[in-house]
Structure 1
Amino acid sequence: METQRMPTLFIGHGSPMNALEINSHTSAWRAMGESLPTPRAILAVSAHWYMDGTAVTAMEQSRTIHDFYGFPPELFAQNYPAPGSPDVAQRVQQVLQPLPVLADQQWGLDHGTWSVLLHLYPQAQIPVVQLSIDAREPPAFHYALGQRLAALRDEGVLILGSGNVVHNLRRIDWSTRGGGPSWATEFNDYIRSALMRNDHQAAIDYEVAGDAARLSVPTPEHYLPLLYVLGAAGAGSQVSFPTDGIELGSISMLTALCS
């Protein structure tokens, strides 16, 4: 049976509380899960697995990691018992050769992954593996890895990036539900415009956006998952934005679906 080619998807995951909340963003994620073709497996690149080196989770069953603090007990009680997939992990290793990719047995699913999958695929029936982000490498490296992962799309694997285009916790304002300072909206609009015109190089070279980029991406881990998604999508992809907006003053909820 022929496998349908999967899109690639970047989700701005925002606060961990989105795992529990039904709002405009999480409703958009749920609608996507209902409308997208059902993947054979999901390869997730989350901002929260940021380390020296590249690794892929290779266990039969992943644990749910509660990698945050200061949130209500209901959030810590959440579990996302999706199976893993050693076969998909091995395939990731193959397509990324000769890059050494560790078959990890310790990590699991961090909240960058499970907080959005709770809405996309609440049944937790689809196998999920996570790929780490090598903190030592520049943006072009991560885009190139995405290009090599593109082969998985034809094998029924949904490549999911989870982070935030704008993510500055030092500038966060918990009292602000919508909107943000000019630098946040400027950078978010800059990246959205680049994606609309398929200018992936502008997304790779995001630092040329100056102060808006410096304030929006003070550290790169939440931005880099987007580059995996774009690399796997290819420069000729069609992009749509199921949800967008600045929340809490300094967090972009931009979601980009590439097909």
Structure 2
Amino acid sequence: MRIVGEWMASTPKMPVLFLGHGSPMNAVEENEFVTGFRDISKEIETPQAIVVISAHWETQGTKVTAMEQPATIHDFGGFPKELYDIQYPAPGMPQLAREVKRMAASTEVVLDEKWGLDHGAWTVVRPMYPKANIPVIELSLDYYKTPQQHYELARELYSLRHKGVLIVGSGNLVHNLGMIRWQQLNECYGYDWANEANDKMKELILDGNHQALVGYSKLGKAFELSIPTPEHFLPLLYAVALQDKNEEIKFFNDKPVGGSLTMTSLKIG
């Protein structure tokens, strides 16, 4: 890893990912979504570090993990023991955490020593980089920020793309667990409203219409059902905020499951 003083040398621009992480069971199963994560990593220059914005770390204020060795957090219940036995011992990177804090002009970022890597992070990074040899830090979602404020914070992190850092938003475009058909969780099935919202989101992403995505609450009933709470959608805003004009977009894992969940993922750049 090339370090100049406290920070990394400039590199060619890294892509940005939004990953639909879905069920934690993806960490122990071999399925098309895990294959999709693995395959996309082969298209990316090996990053010097990874920043994950996960739907599963909501905080009062904005925090960034700053420990040398983040714990693997099993933040779920009712799953098989083999899932809880998994460890993903990727190192942290305190100097990257400090750089994120410095770059975030619009908000105070607190260096956190208590969190770690939740399942929104390790279940998707692990199939991409199974050796756990790339530093990973997490940036939290401040639940008091508006979507516009999240978008603006993400824009401030843009130069990380030129420092070998892979930025990953981890959530789901459509995520309504209250309406999910659990018996069809392993099937490609989406309610009409879920498919409608997912298709519209992709259209807006391809058009670069970020303000419509930021204002998702004004986009009608399908969006209201698809995003009953914002935490799984907000990581998308962190990804698209880093999109350059006319930059290539690639969708993958683009399928609904269980009626009210979509695994749609995308690579920018």
Same fold (TM over 0.5): yes
Quote the residue 2:220 is aligned against.
210
3-state secondary structure, aligned to 1:130? strand
3-state secondary structure, aligned to 2:121? helix
Deviations along 1:97-131, one digit per CA (max 9) or x if unpaired, are 25210000000000000000111111111000000
Shift of 1:4: 2.1
Q: Is the CA contact 1:198–1:237 (under 8 Å) kept in the aligned structure 2?
A: no
Shift of 1:2: 5.2
Matched, 1:48 2:32: no
Which of 1, 25, 28 is 1:20 aligned to?
28
Shift of 1:166: 0.5
Q: TM-score, normalised by structure 1?
A: 0.97
Shift of 1:51: 1.4
3-state secondary structure, aligned to 2:241? helix
Q: Is the CA contact 1:10–1:256 (under 8 Å) kept in the aligned structure 2?
A: yes
1:98-117 equivalent positions in 2, closer than 5 A:
98-117=106-125
Deviations along 1:137-162, one digit per CA (max 9) or x if unpaired, are 11111111111111101011100000
Structure 1 ranges of 4+ moved more than 3 A: none
3-state secondary structure, aligned to 1:196? helix
Quote the residue 1:247 is aligned against.
257
3-state secondary structure, aligned to 1:142? helix
Query: For the residues of structure 1 that align with 2:94 and 2:216, how far apart are their CA atoms?
Result: 35
3-state secondary structure, aligned to 2:203? helix
Shift of 1:195: 0.9
Q: Is the CA contact 2:70–2:91 (under 8 Å) kept in the aligned structure 1?
A: yes
Query: For the residues of structure 1 that align with 2:195 and 2:249, how far apart are their CA atoms?
Result: 19
Quote the residue 2:5 is aligned against.
none
- Deviates further, 204-213 or 88-97: 204-213
Query: For the residues of structure 1 that align with 2:225 and 2:178, how far apart are their CA atoms?
Result: 10
3-state secondary structure, aligned to 2:88? coil
Deviations along 1:168-223, one digit per CA (max 9) or x if unpaired, are 11011121111111111010011011111111112111122211111100000000
Which of 170, 177, 200 is 2:210 aligned to?
200
Q: Is the CA contact 1:47–1:222 (under 8 Å) kept in the aligned structure 2?
A: yes
Between structures 1 and 2, the one with greater helix share: 1
3-state secondary structure, aligned to 1:49? strand
Query: For the residues of structure 2 that align with 1:147 and 1:256, how far apart are their CA atoms?
Result: 18
The one-letter code sitting in structure 2 at the alignment partner of 1:109 is L
- Deviates further, 229-238 or 40-49: 229-238
Q: Is the CA contact 1:200–1:235 (under 8 Å) kept in the aligned structure 2?
A: no
Query: For the residues of structure 2 that align with 1:99 and 1:181, how far apart are their CA atoms?
Result: 38
Shift of 1:235: 4.0
Query: For the residues of structure 1 that align with 2:223 and 2:160, how far apart are their CA atoms?
Result: 31
3-state secondary structure, aligned to 1:188? helix
Quote the residue 1:222 is aligned against.
232
CA RMSD of aligned residues (A): 1.1
Q: Is the CA contact 1:10–1:257 (under 8 Å) kept in the aligned structure 2?
A: yes
3-state secondary structure, aligned to 1:240? strand
Shift of 1:233: 2.1
3-state secondary structure, aligned to 2:218? helix
Query: For the residues of structure 2 that align with 1:79 and 1:246, how far apart are their CA atoms?
Result: 28
Which of 155, 160, 163 is 2:171 aligned to?
163
Quote the residue 1:232 is aligned against.
242
Which of 196, 210, 214 is 1:186 aligned to?
196
Structure 1: gaps (5+ residues) = none
Shift of 1:33: 1.3
